[in-house]
Amino acid sequence: MTKYGQSFLIGLQSNLVYRWNFGVRSIFWFFHLLVVYILWGAAYAGSPAIGGYSFAQTLTYFVVVFVLQFFIGAFNEDYQISEDIRNGLINQFLLKPINYYAYRLSVFTAARVVSGAFGVLALLVALPFFHHYLALPPEGWRLALGLPAMVLTALIQFSIAYCFGLLAFWFLDIQGFVILSMAVETLLGGQIVPLDLLPPGVFQVVRFLPFFYQAYFPAAILTGRQGFDFALQGLAIQAAWAFLLVGLAEFVWRRGLKHHTAAGG
């Protein structure tokens, strides 16, 4: 456990070096929020409620989704892992009693602590402009179920990024795959529209996909878009996906190692 604790501390230090990157990302976040505000504000100008939700509820949903991404989203872990493989840095982990998944997860956790701090900072800057429009529900159970949902979301996001990073065992350049998956995750994860606004039939299909649990699910619990029963069912499905994806990550790692050639002295 100590070695992964050390990895976490090193990850914390190295991510603090890139604090400006997170700062720049916070500025983009503010502009994203502005786009959401302008677009949805114009959409709501013609109708007081969309899908049964007020403008404040929808804006709150997007704010929570964006802030959650700072805390639990996988940003460039796939790229870092693929670089380890491409550059041969992965070899040092093969010679040591270190589980690469656990090592990367500890570095990912450290990175999210740093980016989460920037997310809070960005939120504090945005609050004076948007606080009139924020509407969080008061029920305590939402936080009690929302927090484990967030942890499982982080695990799902990380495991998917990890699997994509491991594709570097087979492909020279994985950027195309990563951005392809990003488009799917953006749409089916509920980052551009709340998924409950999709046609009911589509929503019923999408809720069984892992992408549903990458952003929409914890945000929907925390912002009151889904009730208690739905949240409980969702947590069970989410836990199953997390378990499956961790297993898939291990499987891809083992298969990838069979392809790997460690060269050099």
Partner 1 sequence: MSTLAHYSRIWLASARYSLVRATMFRGDLFIWASVELLWIFVNVTMVGVIYSHTALVAGWSLYQMLLLVGTSMLIQRFLMGFFWSGIFEMGRNVRSGLFDFVLAQPGDPLFMASTRKLELDGLLNAVVAAGLVAYSAHKLGLHPGVGDLALYAAMVACGVVIHYSALVMAMSLAFWITSSQGVEGSYFTLMEFSRLPREAFKGVASFVFVWLLPVVVVSNAPARAILRGFQASWALGLCAATVAWLFLAVFLFRRGLRRYTSASS
Q: Are 171 and 86 in contact (CB under 8 A)?
A: no
Least distance between partner 1 and beta carbon 226 (Å): 18
Interacting residues with partner 1 (CB under 8 A): 21, 24-25, 28, 31-32, 34-35, 38-47, 50-51, 173, 176-177, 179-180, 183-184, 186-187, 192-193, 197-199
For the bound state, the minimum distance from the C-beta of residue 261 to partner 1, rounded and expressed in Å, comes to 21
List phi, psi (to 5°) of 115.
-70, -30
Q: Which residue, 206 or 239, has its beta carbon nearer to partner 1?
A: 206
- Of 40 and 169, nearer to partner 1 (C-beta) is 40
Is the Cβ of residue 51 or residue 88 nearer to partner 1 in the bound state?
A: 51
Which CB sits closer to partner 1, 58 or 238?
58
Cβ neighbours, 10 Å, residue 230: 15
Question: How many residues can be counted in the chain?
Answer: 265
Q: How many of the other CB atoms lie within 10 Å of CB of 222?
A: 25
User: From the CB of 179, what's the least distance to partner 1, in Å?
Assistant: 5
CB of 155 to partner 1, least distance (A): 25
- Nearest-approach distance from CB 27 to partner 1, in angstroms: 8
**CA angle, corner 75, sides to 246 and 124, nearest 5?**
120
Nearer to partner 1, 24 or 144 (CB): 24
Is there a contact between 30 and 122 (Cβ–Cβ < 8 Å)? Answer: yes
d(CA 65, CA 250): 29
Q: How far apart are CA 156 and CA 259, in angstroms?
A: 25
The answer to whether the CB of 39 falls within 8 A of the CB of 192 is no
